[in-house]
Structure 1
Amino acid sequence: MNKKILALVMGCALASGCSSIVSKSDYAVAINSNPGGASFVITNRDGQKVESGVTPSTVTLSSSSGYFKGESYTVVLQKEGYSEKTYTLTSSIDGWYFGNILLGGLIGMLIVDPATGAMYNLPERADISLDANTASAPNGELRIATLDSLSEDQKLALVKI
């Protein structure tokens, strides 16, 4: 009888980790843009490309980049006629991680959840608005001038910002 109780206690101690039981370490994240149809590339904190595609799309990302280290991602969106947009996705501490105080104990809090990455979570979605390009010139020509190269009439038409 004592061996069964000891085995049960050891099994619970080794398998405990509140976030590991309730949460996960890989998350499906919806990537949306306004307007849709933008191409995107996602890189992790080390600069490695982890995903790419066209919005709207759902990608699976890991919430952890190592022991006690949450992951962050850079999403770069591009679409013809719009300025390139950069968006950062950052993991945060999963609320279930603090359940270790009651259920998982120190093993769950210091070993299991940090090692599995379950102590972190990612947002379910990233909704990113793109800005239309505003710089335009006739015939695709852009002319840059210095103040001293302008005529007096052109200088009078300038508006101070």
Structure 2
Amino acid sequence: MKMLKLTAAIATLSLMTGCASIVGEKEQTVTINSSPSNANVLITDERSMEVHSDTTPTTVQLRKADGSYFGGKTYTVELSKDGYENRTMMISSNPNGWYVGGNLIFGGLIGWLIVDPLTGSMYNLSPDTINASLGESVATAEDGNSEITLVLVEDVPLHMLDKMQYLGKI
């Protein structure tokens, strides 16, 4: 009789959990690097709420779900540094293998439809590592538009001539 009760309790518990909730986490570590380093990082979520602010390189723990039913999180990562182009990248949540395959193989219908979607463990954030190259900024005019000025070599000041690089024939 005790064995029957123990088996029934284990079966009930297994039906009330999802594979992703057992194996997965509610948060994920995301690493952000930039070239050049020491760029400003601003991470906002899908509601435009600031989640994290720092400089590169940085590592941050981000929630995978917003707490609603099937509510995966989406983040916007903005990198900026004076003298360089700003970069904006997205981090999005996607169902992971434990949610898709684990619940299918192990018959976790309750996990598939209720538990995993509510806990957020069913998601992985992608990408989990950002390596951004900011590149050099193009000169801007007073009105904020990009501009480039061409000059003859003869018009370049002497102190700047040694900083010039030959790019070859065009």
TM-score by length of 1: 0.79
Ranges in structure 1 where 5+ consecutive residues have no aligned partner:
145-161
Amino acid in the other structure paired with 1:49: E
Counterpart secondary structure, 2:54: strand
Hey, what does 2:117 align to over in structure 1?
114
Hey, what does 2:130 align to over in structure 1?
126
1:44–1:73 contact (8 Å) kept in structure 2: yes
Length, aligned pairs only: 139
Amino acid in the other structure paired with 2:58: S
Hey, what does 1:91 align to over in structure 2?
93
Q: Percent identity?
A: 45
1:17–1:103 contact (8 Å) kept in structure 2: no
Hey, what does 1:6 align to over in structure 2?
8
The structure 1 segments of at least 4 consecutive aligned residues displaced by more than 3 Å after TM superposition are none
Q: Distance in 1 between matches of 2:136 and 2:107?
A: 50
Q: Distance in 1 between matches of 2:91 and 2:131?
A: 11
Offset from partner CA, 1:107-154 (integer Å, 9 cap, x none): 1101111111011111321111112111157xxx78x9xxxxxxxxxx
Ranges in structure 2 where 5+ consecutive residues have no aligned partner:
146-170
TM-score by length of 2: 0.75
Counterpart secondary structure, 2:83: coil
